[in-house]
Amino acid sequence: MDNRGAAIVGKTARLLVLAVPVGFLLLFFGFPVVNLLLTAFGQDEALVQIWAALGNARVGGVLWFTLWQAVCSTLLTLAIALPGCWVMARFRFRGRGVVSALAVVAFVMPTVVVATAISTVLADNGPLGWLLPPGADRGIGAILVAHVYFNLAVVLRVVSSYWAQLDPRPGEAAAVLGASPWRVWWSVTLPRLRPAILASAAIVFLFTFTSFGIVLLLGGPGQATIEVEIQRQVLFLFNVPAGAALSVLQIIFVLFILVLQTVLSRRLAAGDGVDARLRRPSRRVDRISVVTFVFVSLLVFGGPPVSVLLRALESGGGWGIDNFTSLASQDGRTVLSVSPLTAVGNSLLYAAVATLIAVTVGGLMALAIARTKTSVWEGIWLLPLGVSAVTLGFGLLITFDEDPIAWRSSFFMVPIAQSLVAIPFVVRSLVPALRAISPHVLEAAATLGASPRRVLRHVQLPLAGRAALVAIGFSLAISLGEFGATLFVARGDRPTMPIAIYRLLGTPGETNQGQAMALAAILILLTGLFVLLTDRWRTAGERYV
């Protein structure tokens, strides 16, 4: 084959690589979003009705609550995480890897599990119930605590990595000239950390602004975010136009925050670029800081999961595995139409299929992105991040509910919804590894007669194998705990573990509560296992937030 024929074959192969992920995103993401917009604006006097809905007192309260709780959650997360960032950026100590892994576990922990854990530890008789005075609003208090728990990993990763690369000499010079440690921090260090702090704050604000499961389970009367109100309007009031209007508003807000975060993240590249040189804590104050950080981190990240595990083992005033053994039965005392153990099997099956879809689609997209220097394709995989999981599930619900594409009750709708949430993480894992492969290696293989498929199979995949394992691990963990989109598309007789926990917790009865805790414990163990394996597979220098 001459050079012209090889070029045509290579171009055809690239087009085929792009066709699958682009077609998948157009069908299961673009089409539902467009249909959602048509539902919102396609009715008579749509703008008047949307404006009236936004002017409703309840909707106004929802918007205000969504905004101020996100601001408070972001500020609290920054205040609590920054001292830990200093320790992570300056010192090498035993337990550093454990703290980092636990932070990642907390970040990907299913929302229903975290909500269950936080409500347990902050109850009046819980181990941390004393943090909130009697009569305090435990709804908003629990929401803020849960948001901090989720997002500490974001700030720790972003800020500590950036901080470690800052040149320490300006701060040392200021100290030599007589500046106090507080003055050095305020006048020298903080201004130089501003890009990382703002970038991480934008991420935390985005996650808390679109919070669903946490607010749904922990929020009291009148405490609802836009996500929760969309669910209420669609699934309980059957008011699809109002839900569509709120979804459009949510998309606008999220896209604005996402663009802002992207701009802020680009400024992180403007750091000093100094190689991070962590040192052993030698001074007494440094050793106290490190020990305190490790102790508090283990308490914060490990406390809620341990509390759920202990609560799952409580039965009949004593200790035992009765809550776990009861998962196999469906005797009419629980709210589920199937045994809770069926939900475990459903979740594992859905997660496996969703991971297969996410790794296939995301892997092909990563190949396309790695081979081009244009930013257009890089922006495509970010699109699902611009729409919240609840809005995505709502779009899938109304789009695939009528012939000729009445796929709403299909088994594959749940894995498809979960894969759309996981695809960005897959691409984020694979693109750096694929770009790190020297183009000379690929050119040498092609020169020796290897077809594009053989180059992919025998060169690129082996070299990016660790990154592929990371992508698989993250996909499994995210799919297992996905709640927002799944709640809209899952059938009642095929619940996942998060949905089963949500239904059991919302129904009184010792059996229901015990089974919910047992399911939450199983979900914690499975998610933790996948994330810890992923952390071991992660290649040196890679960071995911």
Query: pLDDT, tens digit, for every residue of 144-202?
Result: 999 999 899 889 988 888 888 877 777 778 777 777 777 877 777 778 888 888 888 98
* pLDDT on residue 285: 84
Q: Is 376 exposed, middle or buried (0-12, 13-18, 19+ CB in 10 A)?
A: exposed
Average pLDDT of the segment spanning 496-506: 88
Distance CA 374, CA 271 (A): 24
* pLDDT on residue 76: 95
* Partners of 91 in the β-ladder: 279
Average pLDDT of the segment spanning 279-307: 86
* pLDDT on residue 481: 87
Among 172-186, 203-217, 220-234, the range of highest mean pLDDT: 203-217
Taking only the tens place, the pLDDT of each residue in 423-433 is 888 888 888 77
pLDDT at 470 over 60: yes
Do residues 74 and 201 lie in contact, with contact meaning Cβ atoms separated by under 8 Å? yes
Do residues 48 and 179 lie in contact, with contact meaning Cβ atoms separated by under 8 Å? no
Reported in sequence order, the residue ranges of 314-398 that DSSP labels E, i.e. its strands, are: 314-315, 318-319
* pLDDT on residue 30: 87
Phi, psi of 186 (to 5 degrees): -75, -40
Would you say domain 320-387+411-545 falls under CATH 3.90.550.10? no
> Confidence class of residue 409 from pLDDT cuts 50, 70 and 90?
confident
Q: Which of 157-166, 270-279, 481-490 is the least confident region?
A: 270-279
Average pLDDT of the segment spanning 450-457: 62
* pLDDT on residue 69: 93
> Confidence class of residue 394 from pLDDT cuts 50, 70 and 90?
confident
Taking only the tens place, the pLDDT of each residue in 58-78 is 778 888 899 999 999 999 999
pLDDT at 545 over 80: no
Residue of higher predicted confidence among 331 and 40: 40
Angle at 490 between CA 486 and CA 492, to 5 degrees: 135
pLDDT at 18 over 80: no
Average pLDDT of the segment spanning 265-292: 72
Average pLDDT of the segment spanning 104-127: 80
Average pLDDT of the segment spanning 326-335: 70
In which residue ranges of the chain is CATH 1.10.3720.10 found?
56-309, 320-387+411-545
* pLDDT on residue 239: 76
The label of the residue with tokens 């171009």 reads 11
pLDDT at 10 over 60: no
470: which 2 tokens? 């990371």
Q: Tell me the pLDDT of the chain averaged across its residues.
A: 79
Contacting residues for 331 by C-beta, under 8 A, at least 6 apart: none
* pLDDT on residue 542: 45
pLDDT at 541 over 50: no
* pLDDT on residue 451: 59
- Taking the complete model, does pTM exceed 0.85, yes or no? no
Distance CA 262, CA 203 (A): 10
Q: Which of 60-69, 115-124, 381-390, 444-453 is the least confident region?
A: 444-453
* pLDDT on residue 147: 93
* pLDDT on residue 543: 42
> Confidence class of residue 48 from pLDDT cuts 50, 70 and 90?
low
* 3-class DSSP assignment, residue 509: coil
Distance CA 283, CA 79 (A): 24
* pLDDT on residue 375: 56
Average pLDDT of the segment spanning 439-447: 62
> Confidence class of residue 131 from pLDDT cuts 50, 70 and 90?
low
pLDDT at 272 over 60: no
> Confidence class of residue 515 from pLDDT cuts 50, 70 and 90?
confident
Top CATH class, 56-309 = mainly alpha
> Confidence class of residue 352 from pLDDT cuts 50, 70 and 90?
very high
Contacting residues for 199 by C-beta, under 8 A, at least 6 apart: 158, 261, 264, 265, 267, 268
> Confidence class of residue 449 from pLDDT cuts 50, 70 and 90?
low
* pLDDT on residue 415: 94
Of 258, 206, 73, 70, the closest CA to residue 149 belongs to: 73
Residue of higher predicted confidence among 139 and 346: 346
In angstroms and rounded to an integer, the radius of gyration of the C-alpha atoms of the chain is 25
Residue of higher predicted confidence among 262 and 84: 84
Distance CA 545, CA 541 (A): 13
